[in-house]
Structure 1
């Protein structure tokens, strides 16, 4: 039987945007509740082993220990062998270890930033992302009971390929000719010279935005694209927006509760494999967090690709599984 990985980020849903905006706090006890239901559904679907990311709160062990004896599943739960740092890099290393040890899918609890780190390490292992972050464009709000059933189906190889499992886009950031980082949703060029506070909420600092996707129902910087020229996750396109005085003004929810008017100088679609030049000096924020400093003299570009992680659509997985008779048997 297939193995499933769980990466639950204890820091997701708690950044500075809770102070400067009006986001809901996803506390870690609620993540324990989510993972408890996830474990039960994985066991019910036939999964016998879970590999999880260790972290300082103990979300997965806490969830497993809180399952009452009557419902306690026959499932092995082991932690990924990583050196715990208590930072976002743990998600990357955990995904890397899980991919190496043969997990067939990874369920994530976090926002866009968590999934960006997981995507850097998961190789070809598909992701089923559950939203527990601030900006939740890449992950989706899904009941973990359903997520666990879908992950179990995929891990056992009962459903493969589209429309249940789909490729995603990503942006590759190059500096002086070398790839240095990625984004799954947006890369935002800021008029800053150092990283400082990581989260982005002040639109006045934005120079340029490059997105893989942006729809009117999104929250975050990609919502500007969504309210200007929407791009879906499945389009062979991205969008570039230059921010500044011009003939357009777009209202968009750039953070929870903050609907801002954004001046737009220019915008245009870009094709897959197209490269956008970035002028130095600046800071590039990736999926909502400042990550890359571009200093005077540096040469920087952003490239749109369709080489992002494979993403599981739980509803399509379960629909296909039921069509194959997964959920019933003849008596």
Structure 2
């Protein structure tokens, strides 16, 4: 029996960037409605069991209360700590329980946490965070249907859910497998020496950015690379951007936060090669992962950043549903 997991982050979309910009806000009640629609989409295609992450905002609990008899809904047995550890733990447990796909509600940071838990299960990320370069903007019912077709093996997983790129941060220059953390979209080096409110929005404090995704149609640090040198879909390379706040003759205009177009001085833009070690030794500083400062470096510290193609498989719901339609997978004729 194929089962699908759902991870809904109640904190997604509520950091300081929402207060200092015009970022879209998705309320917990709307997240409840989205989860309900995802469950209906899963059930409609034939998924018999959904496994949910319990959360302090009671998003999944409220959504599960209206599930029909056609689908079994249960919760993971785990402590709720109201931190990203909940998402990491849930992803690990879902892997242990053999779920065939995971639908996530959150932003770039939420999916980074999922990747820390597992990079083996196909995920379908839904747009409910502050920075949403990684997730898809699609109605919940459709997302559930797309995830179900992958989980049930009705479509080719490699075609509909290719592995995404991943940026890994190692503690030492020698890359002695001392992994500190990962990112799925961007890693930034901030001159701020403390984590503080975590969110990155003051671009004049950033000296360099490593990008797995550089899209001109995105909000956040990815847009800087996207406006300077976009990475085509499917390209395994990344982008390394060095920023010069004082530069007046080389710059890009980019939406670093929603509702704000910033003039970003550029020192250099270069291709980031998979497997190559990029050493960051501009300490003291903080390393921001997918838009949030996470790793403080003291004087003399350094880290190594490496791009790879072994991130989690990501279900593209638009592509998947078009393949489903083209092959007539959900078309039934009783004549």
Q: Work out whether the TM-score is over 0.5.
A: yes
Instruction: Mark the runs of 5 or more structure 2 residues left unpaired by the alignment.
Output: none
Equivalence map 1:174-189=2 (5 Å): 174-176=170-172, 177=175, 178-189=178-189
Q: In the alignment, is residue 254 of structure 1 matched against residue 285 of structure 2?
A: no
RMSD: 1.3
Runs of 4+ in 1 over 4 A off after TM superposition: none
The alpha carbon displacement at 1:162 in A equals: 3.5
The alpha carbon displacement at 1:324 in A equals: 4.1
Q: Secondary structure at the match of 1:103?
A: coil
Q: Secondary structure at the match of 2:104?
A: strand
More strand by share: 1
Q: In the alignment, is residue 7 of structure 1 matched against residue 7 of structure 2?
A: yes
For this pair of structures, how many residues does the alignment match? Answer: 327
> Are the equivalent residues in 2 in contact too, given 1:109–1:132 (CA < 8 A)?
yes
**Aligned counterparts of 2:260 and 2:301: Cα–Cα separation in 1:** 34
Q: 1:316 aligns with which of 300, 307, 319?
A: 319
Q: What's the counterpart of residue 293 of structure 1?
A: 296
Equivalence map 1:52-67=2 (5 Å): 52-66=52-66
> Are the equivalent residues in 2 in contact too, given 1:40–1:73 (CA < 8 A)?
no
Equivalence map 1:87-98=2 (5 Å): 87-98=83-94
> Are the equivalent residues in 2 in contact too, given 1:212–1:233 (CA < 8 A)?
no
Q: 1:104 aligns with which of 82, 100, 119?
A: 100
Q: In the alignment, is residue 145 of structure 1 matched against residue 148 of structure 2?
A: no
Q: Secondary structure at the match of 1:162?
A: helix
Equivalence map 1:98-247=2 (5 Å): 98-176=94-172, 177=175, 178-244=178-244, 245-246=246-247, 247=249
Cα offsets for 1:104-159 (capped at 9, x unmatched): 00000000000000011123100000000011000010111110111111111111
The alpha carbon displacement at 1:323 in A equals: 4.1
> Are the equivalent residues in 1 in contact too, given 2:150–2:157 (CA < 8 A)?
no
Seen in structure 2, the aligned counterparts of structure 1 residues 139 and 154 have a Cα distance that, compared at 3 Å, is same
Q: 1:326 aligns with which of 316, 324, 329?
A: 329
The alpha carbon displacement at 1:299 in A equals: 2.6
Cα offsets for 1:197-240 (capped at 9, x unmatched): 11010011101101011111110011100111111342121111
**Aligned counterparts of 1:161 and 1:47: Cα–Cα separation in 2:** 16
Q: TM-score, normalised by structure 1?
A: 0.95
> Are the equivalent residues in 2 in contact too, given 1:173–1:182 (CA < 8 A)?
yes
**Aligned counterparts of 2:81 and 2:232: Cα–Cα separation in 1:** 35
The alpha carbon displacement at 1:6 in A equals: 0.1
